[in-house]
């Protein structure tokens, strides 16, 4: 089978140009502050890429390094600084519930990653059309994956919003609160049957046939990875370790393979089975981050004008 490899640079190009033009035309200087409180190589690389992309588009990016015990106070300080329009934290910091707590320390008016509980309200609506995407701050990595799937036409644009993934079986090997879980909800809310995989179990997440359910439903299954991979149209991986590999032999012919981990989660022979392979999405994620920043910038400007 012929496999097409699609780069993140290709997918993000039009969005980056749009951002660059908008910032230059309006003559604005949106400022993003990133907090790095760990020595995780993936986080360090992400911070470096964020800095480079922001420089290209005209966003002011400031990386603030601190130890994790100081992080909460530094976030609060940035919350109160009117010159800062967006805040992000490079996780993991503590790697437990403390990280979820920190997500809610970030002000909702500056949360470019859309991770606080108030921002997560988008999960409670049946689906997200383009107008709703404008109104919500969607977590940037899940949003980046949605943009990938739109670009490669996994979404059926002929169908109405909420049904555009009807009949599509998607496996996500990651159930983190930052990426895997919100992504599963977003895809299920578009009519897809989603299998959410972590080390404990496999969950099935769906919204009922033709959105008959008012909200998404989560069901713990007894299925094994060996059973769901052969029936999956799309496999999305985000396992943060170089040793984890999805067995190519288990994948169906013509599968769409998307990797958002800093490591290659698919085997070297993935192109023998896949019809489309997206090896990284970093540039798209950062571009979605910047789009969120501009939304927050405009909201803050609007609030100032109302005072």
Q: What is the DSSP string of 249-297?
A: GGSPTTEEEEE-SSS--B-TTGGGTEEEEE---HHHHHHHHHHHHHHHH
Residues 180 and 60 in one domain: no
Q: What is the DSSP string of 65-113?
A: E--HHHHHHHHHHHHT-TT--EEEE-S-SSSSHHHHHHHTTS-TTTBTT
| Structural domain boundaries, residue 184 | 142-282
Tokens for 103, please give them: 């997500």
pTM for the full predicted model: 0.90
Can you give the CATH number for the domain in which 188 is found?
3.40.50.720
Indicate whether 61 belongs to any domain.
yes
53 vs 16: CA distance, rounded Å:
9
235 vs 246: CA distance, rounded Å:
9
128 vs 65: CA distance, rounded Å:
35
Indicate whether 17 belongs to any domain.
no
Listed as ranges, residues in the chain with pLDDT below 70 are 1, 117-135, 208-215, 307
CB 251 within 8 A of CB 267: no
Can you give the CATH number for the domain in which 69 is found?
3.40.50.10860
Report pLDDT digits (tens) over 72-130. 999 999 999 999 999 999 999 998 789 989 999 999 999 999 887 655 555 555 555 56
Residues 149 and 272 in one domain: yes
59 vs 26: CA distance, rounded Å:
13
Residues 85 and 194 in one domain: no
Indicate whether 302 belongs to any domain.
no
Indicate whether 298 belongs to any domain.
no
Q: Lay out the sheet containing 31-36: strands in order across.
A: 60-65, 31-36, 86-89
Indicate whether 117 belongs to any domain.
no
Q: pLDDT value at position 180?
A: 94
Indicate whether 205 belongs to any domain.
yes
Domain count, the chain: 2
Indicate whether 290 belongs to any domain.
no
Catalytic residue (one of 54, 116, 140, 168): 140
Residues 146 and 104 in one domain: no
165 vs 192: CA distance, rounded Å:
5
Indicate whether 294 belongs to any domain.
no
User: Is 140 one of the catalytic residues?
Assistant: yes
């Amino acid at each position: 089978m012929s496999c097409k490899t699609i780069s993140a640079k290709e997918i993000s190009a039009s969005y980056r140009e749009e951002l660059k033009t908008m910032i230059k035309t309006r003559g604005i200087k949106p400022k993003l502050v990133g907090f790095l409180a760990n020595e995780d190589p993936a986080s360090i690389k992400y911070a470096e890429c964020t800095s480079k992309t922001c420089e290209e588009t005209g966003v002011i990016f400031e990386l603030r390094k601190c130890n994790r015990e100081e992080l909460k106070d530094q976030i609060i300080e940035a919350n109160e600084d009117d010159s800062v329009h967006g805040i992000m934290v490079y996780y993991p910091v503590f790697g437990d519930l403390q990280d979820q707590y920190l997500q809610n320390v970030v002000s909702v008016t500056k949360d470019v990653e859309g991770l606080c509980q108030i921002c997560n309200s988008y999960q409670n609506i049946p689906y997200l059309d383009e107008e709703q995407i404008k109104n919500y701050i969607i977590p940037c990595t899940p949003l980046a994956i949605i943009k990938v799937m739109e670009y490669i036409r996994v979404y059926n644009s002929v169908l109405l919003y909420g049904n555009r993934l009807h009949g599509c079986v998607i496996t996500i090997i990651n159930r983190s609160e930052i990426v895997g879980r919100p992504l599963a909800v977003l895809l299920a809310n578009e009519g897809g049957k989603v299998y959410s995989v972590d080390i404990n179990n496999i969950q099935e997440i769906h919204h009922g046939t033709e959105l008959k359910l008012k909200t998404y439903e989560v069901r713990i299954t007894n299925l094994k990875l060996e059973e769901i991979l052969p029936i999956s149209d799309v496999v999305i991986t985000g396992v943060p370790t170089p040793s984890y590999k999805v067995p190519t032999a288990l994948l169906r012919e013509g599968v769409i393979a998307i990797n958002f981990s800093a490591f290659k989660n698919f085997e070297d022979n993935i192109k023998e089975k896949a019809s489309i392979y997206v090896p990284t999405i970093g540039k798209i994620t950062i571009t979605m981050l910047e789009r969120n920043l501009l939304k927050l910038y405009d909201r803050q400007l609007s609030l100032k004008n109302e005072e």
